[in-house]
Amino acid sequence: MLALANRFVLCRLVLLASILSLVFAGPVLAEGSPLTQSDELATDVATVVVVDPSRFAVTTTHDYVFTNESRERDVAGFTETIPGDAAVVTAQAGQVSLETGLGLRGGDVMQLFVSFAEPLGPGESATVRLVLLQEAVVGLPEDLNHVSPSLVAIDPFAVGNGTGPVTLHVEIPRGFGLDVIEGWDIVPGEGSTTFVRSEAVPYEPAPLVASNPDALQRQSVAGLDYAVRVATLLGPEVDLTGLVADVASGLAEWLPAIPTRPVEIRTGWTGDDDVRWVGNDEATVAVVGIHPSEASIARVMAQVLSAELAWADESLAGEVADAVTFAWLETREFGGGAAIDRSEGWTDPLSSAFRQAGPEATAAVISAVIAGTNTYEGPGPNDADIAADWRALLDAIENMTDINVSSRFRAVASPQNTIAIDARDSARGEYSALEILGDGWAMPLMLRVPMAEWDFVTFDGRRLSVAELIEAHDVFVLLADEEDLVIGPYVRKLFEASDSTLDAAWIQLAAEESAIGPVGEALRLVTTERGAFARVGMANINVNDELDLIIEEWEAGDAEDAAHRAEELIETYEGAVGRGTIRLIIPLALLSVLAWFVRLVHRRLHPSSAE
């Protein structure tokens, strides 16, 4: 649009040069002066532009009413600015044809000199009709120089010298819908629609873009899991189907989504952007230029895919799409990454992270964020009250990959978000220290959830109790090693599953601490060599089976049952010597009595020998 405005500045300069040439070229206008002073020749003018899409043509008709307000000078004619590719069809006053001549050309416009049939004297008026024809108007839509059965993109302008009312009418056949409506009044007709500017500014471009989607030439894109078609202006002047198929297939590896509505990519006018989105009840419609780049198509398809995902912030859908587009382009032998504006929102840090992560990791990150997954890993439920926003993306990137992007997020963050990122970085430092202290233990839910929800106040209030339990358990591990006992995973499981308090883990740890003494003692008693009386006292008692039951209960986390059984075994061992002594004395006593009885009988039977 800026180029268009500059064009008309140049046009005015050309007009001034033409006027000056006429002023000093006396022989051309010997009997009068041309339109050299706007206050001497009052002008009322109505301009009607008729667009003929079937002929790719534009016909412009200017109807003037001139009045010479000079008191003493005649006016021989006037100078007009016309499009550079226009041909004069008619220049007449009533039934009289007027002489015309071309002047200087500037940019896309040139000057036309029109002489009155007779010089216009002071106070006299004249009506003039000037008809211009532009044919083969098939330039680029973005240059507002295109007329075809499916698109009208032109920049007509009203004319005049500002001394009277100026109106501009543009007539287009029915079936065209206006894409640029600013400044236009719409007047429906039987066979055409008229767009009106009742107070147009002379020589100021009045862009008008109207499209007729029904006249587009459509082709389906094959090989995709969803419906995509391309619609071109003048038939298959550009085969976009292959390009779209390649781009869509490539982006599918990065963005885990399938559009729920058909997608249509049209060629046409895009304004100041490389893509223009069109509202449509039946499909998602994007308009690209007649010769779209791979980057433009990639951006469209990425936007379509990202829009299918449930982002918490609508703008984030576009930023993720642009970041994926940039990352995808950078991984190819294509220098088109610069086509993506990475200054918007979180696009820059996201594109940097996605490019380093690659398609598989990027898709995993996006899937986790959309699913509301807590990416601070650990057993138990991974869902939390996590919105699919930039914070979740930052956490997922750093938790699921080895890529550190916090500083890049901070560089583009607002002051408020910068404070939040700083608080997060501090909390993550404490969290990492706890992970090191845990030596393989996952952090409990009571820490993982507030970290994922960016509730760092709650995290800070709980982290010391977590460290305390880990340290207490480490001491207990040393004690168990001394007892040659294996510690089960039960304190760890309760610790990792704790969602608000560590009470259950503390109770289990206390039970194991209480049980380790008797269990260890029972282990020593069974595995240590004992004296004869003890061995005799423990005869007929299967201590190994009993010890196996104790160890089984211990390793199963049933610390109280293991302790109770161990205490019973200890009591059994403590009575072993007494039982062994009794078991040995009684047989000896019986043998002594038996020996005495034998001797007694022998004496009675053999008294003489006894003597």
Confidence of residue 589 (pLDDT cuts 50, 70, 90): low
pLDDT at 111: 92
pLDDT tens figures, 170-222? 999 998 988 876 788 889 988 899 999 887 889 988 999 999 999 999 999 99
For position 103, what pLDDT does the model report? 85
Q: Which of 251, 248, 258, 213 is nearest to 232 (CA)?
A: 213
Please check whether residue 220 is in contact with residue 158, taking contact to mean a CB–CB distance below 8 angstroms: no
Assign 341 to helix, strand or coil.
Answer: coil
Domain boundaries, the chain: 2-212, 214-430, 483-611
Beta strands in 69-176 (DSSP E): 75-83, 87-93, 96-97, 100-106, 109-120, 125-134, 145-148, 151-154, 166-173
Q: Write down the residue that tokens 């007027």 correspond to.
A: 98
pLDDT band with cut points at 50, 70 and 90 for residue 101: very high
Element (H, E) at 492: helix 490-497
Tens of pLDDT, residues 260-276: 999 999 998 888 888 99
Average pLDDT, the chain: 83
CATH code for the domain defined by 2-212: 2.60.40
pLDDT 10s digits, 475-491: 999 988 888 888 888 99
- The CATH code belonging to domain 214-430 is 1.10.390
Pick from 303, 301, 308, 354: nearest CA to 331: 354
pLDDT band at 161 (very low <50, low <70, confident <90, very high): confident
Q: For residue range 364-387, what is the model confidence (pLDDT) as tens digits?
A: 999 999 999 999 998 877 666 689
Pair 74, 68: CB distance under 8 Å:
yes
Ramachandran sector of residue 432 (left: φ over 0; alpha: ψ -120 to 50; beta: rest): alpha
539: burial class by Cβ within 10 Å (0-12, 13-18, 19+)? exposed
pLDDT at 548 over 80: no
pLDDT at 12: 46
Residue 535 · residue 577 · CB < 8 Å: no
Per-residue model confidence (pLDDT) at position 444: 96
Q: According to DSSP H, which parts of 498-558 are helical?
A: 503-527, 532-537, 543-555
pLDDT of residue 379: 86
pLDDT value, residue 537: 43
The tokens for 291 are 């010769």
- What predicted TM-score, i.e. pTM, was given to this entire model? 0.75
